[in-house]
Amino acid sequence: MKGLLEGIRVIDSTTVVAMPTAMHIMGDMGAQVIKVETHTQTRGEGGTFANNIPPDNEYWNKDGNFHALNRSKLGITLNLQDPDGVNTFKELAALSDVVAENNRAGTMERLGLGYDDLKRIKPDIIYISNTGFGQTGPWRRYAGIGRMFELTCGLSQFTGYEHESPRRVGRFFFDPHVGWTAVFAIMAALHYRNETGKGQWIDLSMYQTGASTMGDVILDFAANKRNGGLRSNRHDSIAPHNVYPCRGDDNWIAIAIENDIEWNALCQAMDNPNWAHNDKFSDAFSRWRNQDELDRNIAAWTGEYDHVELMDQLQAVGIPAGAVLNGKETLTNPHLKARQFYEAVTHPPESGMGTRLYHGRPWKMSDAEAHIRRPAPTVGEHNDYVLGQIMGKEEDEILELHEIGVIGQEPTNPRPANQPVSLDRQLDEGSIKEYDSDYQSQLGITDHE
């Protein structure tokens, strides 16, 4: 089987999380994705560089986030502050199908690398710009990062516990959504180009991606003038709908009952306790009105069970229930293992990184191949290949670009790496709960080959 996107060449001039996610998905599906970065500073995706990397040789090539977000890509360096770097970018764009960038609105235009500039070189180019708020509108020049969109789109109005302030959902909750949306938009544009021969500019707004997930609460306000609020883990109309403690330290299960059939099944699973037949719980509305007492009763029952075993037991009788898994349980989850969700990637021996696991894609196809094609590139790893084999430059031309600083294979102005805080110290200070010293063997990976 071949990758769906074999024969498609993509320039990935993006950073942080959202768009690098889109680009590695396209690389996994067979596109030739060329990561264009600068060697005038130390790389680092996701804002965590230098916090977890020992200051050893070529530490800039060992950022875990960079490797997770830039697998399946080739990598070159171009100094876009130099006219020769800009011209080289244009030459590569003339040989490509897609250009992706996520700078603040107007940045690429000032460099002479905006859509109109590249369209003159490659009329059918597909050019995607991901910004915080889009290329038009009064907020078009506002900067934006993934975490802030939980707030600006309204999600945080509903995420938190009663009598507390709102809580963010995670580190980069909307970034993967934006990445998946970008893949959809690019694929649609490729299809349109196949039908018409025309390329186009895709103006992708992270803010609008976030707001698009809030349709039900927006409609509720428009129709009913209800503005909503913090709801903890509860639902605004059905009960029981919550997470409940299970046996052990900080183990939980989520249970969500939608109708009387599921409620009766839950009662049977609990051996039909007397309290379940109280009029307070006789119908959906009564259960919702009395959910404080309902939750206490259910919690007393779930507390006697292992969270995973109880999930299996409830699912077997048609009850929507899911164990709340921690990081270790997710990494070692037998279901994800059976679906081969985590893929092992062996890094070159000289990197000292050995074999590592990376998450795959949340879908499978019966007749198309998608997998991690290669580890993330080191700084400028494929300069010679891309400039020579793909772009046709002579060896002396490539050498000159290196000598004048347009390309490079290590940062010219590296940020210092910090010595990571030891796990034992983190354990003592309470920033982590526990760690497995044999995690490599548990995951089937090694530090060195």
CA distance linking residue 332 with residue 311, whole number of Å: 17
Q: How many domains does the chain have?
A: 2
Domain boundary among 324, 350, 372: 324
Statement: residue 198 has pLDDT above 50: yes
Same domain? For 263 and 207 the reply is no
- What's the confidence (pLDDT) of residue 449? 42
Q: Answer whether residue 330 is part of any domain.
A: no
Nearest C-alpha neighbor of 21 from the set 12, 30, 31: 12
Q: Answer whether residue 329 is part of any domain.
A: no
Interval 75-88 mean pLDDT:
97
Statement: residue 234 has pLDDT above 70: yes
- What's the confidence (pLDDT) of residue 443? 87
Q: Answer whether residue 227 is part of any domain.
A: no
Statement: residue 203 has pLDDT above 70: yes
Interval 219-243 mean pLDDT:
90
Summarised one tens digit per residue, pLDDT across range 404-415 is: 999 999 888 777
Cβ distance 251 to 321 under 8 Å? no
Domain boundary among 278, 303, 324: 324
- What's the confidence (pLDDT) of residue 44? 61
Cβ distance 78 to 38 under 8 Å? yes
Same domain? For 16 and 65 the reply is yes
Interval 354-362 mean pLDDT:
92
- What's the confidence (pLDDT) of residue 318? 96
Same domain? For 424 and 285 the reply is no
Statement: residue 170 has pLDDT above 80: no
Q: Answer whether residue 347 is part of any domain.
A: yes
> What residues contact 218, with CB distance under 8 A and at least 6 apart?
154, 211
| SS3 assignment, position 192 | helix
Same domain? For 433 and 384 the reply is yes
Q: Which of 24-28, 287-291, 426-430 has the lowest mean pLDDT?
A: 426-430
Same domain? For 42 and 155 the reply is yes
212: DSSP letter: G
Statement: residue 424 has pLDDT above 60: yes
Same domain? For 43 and 180 the reply is yes
Q: Specify the CATH number for the domain of residue 140.
A: 3.40.50.10540
Statement: residue 54 has pLDDT above 80: no
Nearest C-alpha neighbor of 348 from the set 374, 384, 372: 374
Same domain? For 351 and 309 the reply is no
Same domain? For 267 and 360 the reply is no
Q: Which of 4-8, 84-88, 173-177 has the lowest mean pLDDT?
A: 173-177
Per the structure block, which two tokens stand in for 363?
A: 């879908």
Q: Which residue has the higher pLDDT, 153 or 131?
A: 131
Share of the chain above pLDDT 70, in %: 95
Domain boundary among 324, 349, 376: 324
- What's the confidence (pLDDT) of residue 447? 64
Q: Answer whether residue 346 is part of any domain.
A: yes
Same domain? For 310 and 382 the reply is no
Statement: residue 55 has pLDDT above 80: no
Summarised one tens digit per residue, pLDDT across range 309-357 is: 999 999 999 999 999 999 999 999 999 999 999 999 999 988 888 899 9
- What's the confidence (pLDDT) of residue 86? 97
Q: Answer whether residue 87 is part of any domain.
A: yes
Same domain? For 343 and 317 the reply is no
Structure confidence at residue 49 as a pLDDT band (50, 70, 90): very low
Domain carrying residue 267: 241-324
Q: Answer whether residue 236 is part of any domain.
A: no
Structure confidence at residue 48 as a pLDDT band (50, 70, 90): very low
Per the structure block, which two tokens stand in for 315?
A: 């699912």
Q: Specify the CATH number for the domain of residue 249.
A: 3.30.1540.10
Share of the chain above pLDDT 90, in %: 68
Nearest C-alpha neighbor of 130 from the set 203, 27, 35, 179: 203
Same domain? For 393 and 292 the reply is no
Statement: residue 360 has pLDDT above 60: yes
pTM (two decimals): 0.90
- What's the confidence (pLDDT) of residue 413? 79
Structure confidence at residue 1 as a pLDDT band (50, 70, 90): low
Q: Answer whether residue 220 is part of any domain.
A: no
Summarised one tens digit per residue, pLDDT across range 92-133 is: 999 999 999 999 889 999 999 999 999 999 999 999 999 999
Interval 418-432 mean pLDDT:
86
- What's the confidence (pLDDT) of residue 169? 83
Distances (CA, A) of 280 to 155, 236, 275, 294, 374: 32, 18, 9, 9, 59
Same domain? For 34 and 82 the reply is yes
Interval 145-163 mean pLDDT:
83
Statement: residue 281 has pLDDT above 70: yes
- What's the confidence (pLDDT) of residue 164? 85
Interval 139-144 mean pLDDT:
86
Statement: residue 53 has pLDDT above 70: no
